[in-house]
Structure 1
Amino acid sequence: MSEEVIYADLKFQDASKIENIQEFDQVGTKGNHGTRTKCCPGKSWFFYITSKTEMEKLKKLQYFKEELQKNVSLQLMHNMNNSKNIMKLSITLQIIATKLCYELSRKKPEHQCNPCPKEWMWHGNSCYLLSKDFKTWPNSDKMCSANNASLLKIKDKSVAEFIKFQKLHDYWLGLSPRKYSLDYQTLEEIIMSSDRFTRNTNDPSDRIYCRNIRNAIYIYSDYCTKQKKYICEKLANPVRTESILMNEVPDGRM
């Protein structure tokens, strides 16, 4: 009787141990989808927890990266807009400074804001020099080149009106030398003509004709070897804003 009780007790204990091991194995060896793994229960559970933690960290880093890229893009757009606004403001300031300098130069040609060299006249975007000496057309062209300029070309109505206002007579212009004398033209007709640019600037012979302005508004042909005055033109320098803002004159006015 006692032997049967002892045997039954041992059998019950063994069954309890087996059941506990099976329960632990089922919990500890399930993967993400509840499938059993071949690893030992403790290592599988640790691997699962570690992987989940790392995935959470990776997601956070990815989110941080996307937010950082978004902020950088927004900052770049903001900087580009600021650059555009600064550029527009700079252009507007330059226009205002140029207009103001032009008015100051009309009253005082030697004003330091004047973008043209001394003795040169300022009109539009160009500087003009009316010579006082007489030279042949080729030598006139060379004199202008020595001043980083060229003989005058009538390019638009604004320049034509400026030249009319000077009331010039017998000045060489930067028109093409010709083998034949041409009928006279007005300044406006020259603007519409393709014959506006200097070509063949080698020393013309005695029988080559060059163009000159007479009586302020008419263009005539004459031998290029004749002695006449000449008009040089070159691009004006940009007006420096500080030359206006920092300028002082004796009476305290600009």
Structure 2
Amino acid sequence: MDNTVVYSEVKLNDTKGGTAPGVKILRNSKSGTQLKCQSFSKLTLILGFAVLLLLMIVVGMSIEVVRLHKDHSYAGSTSQARQNVYNRTSSKHLDQTIPTNPPQHCGYCPKGWLLHKEMCYLLSSVLQNSTSAAASCSTTCSQLARAEDFETLAFLRKHMTTAFYWVGLNKTLNGSIWLWTGSTMLSRTHYFNNSNHFGKDCAMISKLLIYAESCNSTRGHICEKEASCGT
């Protein structure tokens, strides 16, 4: 074998700003890509920070709105509570100082009359029959007294003399029932001290006795009427 070495010379035209024909120069684009990635990362970071900042602002504003609403509600409820307390206090004060319905005292009797249980009584010693005695009472806007209960009877007897006085108790026309003035039936079984009531249709009382008597007899009488009222 022939060990001859053959040399070949390849000449490249080094033209300014150009390349040899048929030769492509591959430019390194790695640095450009890195620059683009870095720019995108910065933009993403800025946008993320802006979004986070905006979210924080929105949350902060929401919290402030809620706080202001609570403060307003609390202030409103406190103001209402104070107003209610003021109203109650004012109302109580007015109730104490200016009574809307002042109490009335029914205990006024004309001069010469006697007061007992909000009733006024007049004992007259003028001798009259029962009908005239009832008419005399009517002239003073009163009527012959009802004296059935023990307290009223005891009160009247303290102011009597030994004479008898007509009271407003009469027998009915058929002679079976005793009625007080105003058609109230006599409820006490043993009211009279005499039991013979024939022809005796009216009642009279004294310090010690209660008698059925003829209405034409002349006796004193007791009138009664309600006491007048005033503040």
Query: Does the C-alpha gap of structure 1 residues 139 and 18 become closer, same or farther in structure 2, counting only changes over 3 Å?
Result: farther
Q: Give unpaired runs (5+ residues) of structure 2.
A: 1-26, 185-198
Higher share of residues assigned helix: 1
1:175 aligns with 2:169: yes
Q: Is the 8 A contact 1:177 1:200 kept in 2?
A: no
Query: Does the C-alpha gap of structure 1 residues 59 and 177 become closer, same or farther in structure 2, counting only changes over 3 Å?
Result: farther
1:1-254 to 2 correspondence within 5 Å? 4-26=30-52, 28-29=54-55, 45=58, 48-68=59-79, 70-71=81-82, 72=84, 76=88, 115-123=108-116, 125-154=118-147, 156-168=149-161, 169-178=163-172, 179-180=174-175, 197-200=180-183, 209-214=201-206, 216-237=207-228
Q: Is the 8 A contact 1:128 1:232 kept in 2?
A: yes
Q: Identity of aligned pairs, percent?
A: 21
Q: Is the 8 A contact 1:154 1:196 kept in 2?
A: no
Asked which structure has the greater CA Rg, the reply is 2
TM-score by length of 1: 0.52
Q: Give unpaired runs (5+ residues) of structure 1.
A: 31-41, 99-113, 183-194, 202-206, 241-254
Q: Is the 8 A contact 1:137 1:224 kept in 2?
A: yes
CA distance in 1, matches of 2:138, 2:33: 127
Letter in 1 for 2:47: I
Q: How many residues align?
A: 187
CA distance in 1, matches of 2:209, 2:218: 18
Q: Deviations over 1:2-26 (max 9, x none)?
A: 9654443233112211222134334
The two structures, once aligned, show a CA RMSD in angstroms of: 4.5
CA distance in 1, matches of 2:148, 2:89: 42
TM-score by length of 2: 0.56
Letter in 2 for 1:25: V
Q: Deviations over 1:98-146 (max 9, x none)?
A: 9xxxxxxxxxxxxxxx932123233453321123544443453354344
Q: Is the 8 A contact 1:155 1:196 kept in 2?
A: no
Structure number with greater CO (CA < 8 Å, separation at least 6) is 2
Q: Deviations over 1:159-203 (max 9, x none)?
A: 333322222423111234345499xxxxxxxxxxxx7842449xx
Higher share of residues assigned strand: 2
Query: Does the C-alpha gap of structure 1 residues 8 and 157 become closer, same or farther in structure 2, counting only changes over 3 Å?
Result: same
